Amino acid sequence: MNESYYAPVVHVADGQDEGKMLRDVLRNRLGVSRRLFVKLKQSEGGLTINGERAYPSFRLAVGDVVEFRMEQESSDDILPQPIPLDIVFEDEHLLVLNKPAGIIVHPTTGHYANTLANGVVYYWREKGESCRFRPVHRLDQDTSGLVVVAKHPYAHQQLSVQMAEGTIEKRYRAYVFGRPPQDSGEVNEPIGRVPTDPHRRAVLEDGAPSLTFYEVKRAYPCGASSLHIRLGTGRTHQIRVHMGWIGCPLIGDSYYADPKWQETELAARLAGAIGRQALHASLLAFNHPVTEERLELKAELPADLQELERALGSLPPL
């Protein structure tokens, strides 16, 4: 098969598919989007059945091997740069990375270099792979942890559907000032953009529904807490906004700093302990977009948060 195609997505027809047209199985059973379906039809090697070129009107029999291949693309607008990558999982369809704090996921206006995308594009080029950089989700610049990148349109589409349906589980470790009102609970408050600052988010009546679950892992004598957090939705700055809303802002978060905490002795003792918000995306669980296998991937706590954890444990009651 032409090397300008990605690895095929393979489906063996069963009783549910017998007598149905290929187009219906692709659209209704495999979830191929209308846009991708049009591309597959137009591609000479895009659709095959039992190794032979197939047309959308072809009717399937049990045991037919359906394969569809997407033409390779590249991110020609992203500058390849040799940036160290911590790869947690990779196959023909996905790349999962443990992003360090301090690096943004994708180039933005005025910030074209030294992003995760620059490093991934370089890595793929050195491997001889041609893929367009397609992050399924993003992390804030100063949040560390797991990021999923799809290698082709179908993988991205299928994972985006899981994101929308809430079947992708995302868990975080967070270190906050104060103690939540309960040892475990949820924050169900709408989040929207602050009109006077387009980059800032806040709990607003007309905001988008937002749900965060938390559990106190450790309440430190000094008055800080370590939390396990699970997202029910994925709004921009959601954890940072919701934790601040319940009076427990993230340690080290200068953008959403609460003056009430910044003026305390605890804040003074922690000054310089960490140079970013104390937040780490520690676990991702999702169904593989092609094999449907359930994957659970983890990223250990980075060194700066381990050091913060030790510091919090050593501080006496305040």
18 phi, psi to nearest 5 deg: -55, 125
- Inter-residue contact 42 to 55 (CB < 8 Å): no
Beta partners for residue 174, in sequence order: 227, 279
Q: Which residues pair with 224 in a beta bridge?
A: 177
**Among the listed residues 39, 10, 3, the one whose alpha carbon sits nearest the alpha carbon of residue 25:** 10
- Amino acid in the structure at residue 64: D
Q: Collapsing DSSP states into helix, strand and coil, what is residue 97?
A: strand
Active site residue 253: no
Distance CA 74, CA 6 (A): 12
Residue indicated by tokens 């997407």: 70
Catalytic residue among 17, 64, 140, 142: 140
Assigned token pair, 192: 């929207």
Nearest Cα to Cα of residue 146 among 93, 236, 86 = 86
The b-or-e profile of 269-286 (16+ CB within 10 A means b, else e) is ebeebbebbbbbbbbbeb
The amino acid that residue 279 corresponds to is: L
Which residues are identified as catalytic? 140
